[in-house]
Amino acid sequence: GAIERMRLLDEKCAEVGRDPKTINRSIWPMPHPFESVDNVKQVIASYREAGFNDFVFTWPPDEYEDVMRQFARDVLPELRAST
């Protein structure tokens, strides 16, 4: 999976002498994590722990749109400030 590929990337960076932290690591978590704000935070935290620092989300179905908006309004600014 994605986490194993991040470990492989780290190994390859070490082989060529590149700092792996200089690489932007993006992921598109599927399916969308907007069941709750806490779920989105948990998904992001687990991928951050694996080394990802850029997240792309699809627009969720209508019934999850309020959670997405709440996350964007209340949590996203804090996450951006912590990077």
Q: State the pTM of this model.
A: 0.78
Distance between CA atoms of residues 57 and 66, nearest Å: 15
What tens digit of pLDDT does each residue of 11-57 get? 999 999 999 889 999 988 888 899 999 999 999 998 888 888 899 99
Name the nearest CA neighbour of 52 among 1, 19, 6, 4: 6
- Which residues make beta-bridge pairs with 55? 27
Name the nearest CA neighbour of 35 among 45, 43, 46: 43
Name the nearest CA neighbour of 27 among 39, 45, 8: 45
